[in-house]
Amino acid sequence: MGLKEEMANEQEWLKAELADDDDLAEAMFARAVKRSAANDPSADFVERAAQAAWRARLRQQRARRIVFGAAAAFILSAGIGVLYALWALAGGMLAPGIVAAAHGLVWVLTSPLEGANWWWTAERVGGVLAGTVTARGTAAAIIFLELAGLAAIYAFGRVIGPQRNGN
């Protein structure tokens, strides 16, 4: 049976289906299925198609591995190149950096001690001044000077006060 006859039968099946003639549509559909069974592929064809698909899959996996390996090699070589190019710069900055870090560490460790020394010195000076001021003779002299200063301010205010008011 030729292709034209198969298409004609399919068109008749579709017409029967659209006309709601179920018995005729089922009979024609059964004949179409029977004819299509004759067109089944041979076992040899199926085997060759499966082998071709497996080989294509293996080629794709192999290509993927090669591409990933090439990318990894490129990234590795680029990293090595960057390290080689920057080695002189990094080496030139490494020694001064270590020296600066050591100086900074020494400064951090000695700064609190220096600050404490200044506070200890101020405390000693304050202690000496307090001891001097609180001595009996010194305290009496300071009190006398304060009273004399207050008396002078009072007297000065009495002398200048009337002149300021216009009296």
Whether the CB-CB separation of 138 and 132 falls below 8 Å is answered with yes
| Residues 93, 83: Cα–Cα separation, whole Å | 14
> For residue 90, what are its two tokens?
């990094």
Cα dihedral sign, 126-132-135-137: negative
Which residues, other chains included, contact 6 with Cβ-Cβ below 8 Å and sequence gap of 6+? 32, 35
pTM of the model: 0.33
Contact predicate 16/24, CB 8 Å: yes
Q: Which of 14, 43, 39, 48 is nearest to 28 (CA)?
A: 14
Q: Which pLDDT tens digit goes with each residue over 97-142? A: 788 888 888 887 777 777 777 778 888 888 887 777 777 777 788 8
**Percentage of the chain modeled with pLDDT above 70:** 85
10: nearest Cα among 38, 27, 29, 23: 29
Question: Each residue of 12-22: pLDDT tens digit?
Answer: 777 877 888 77
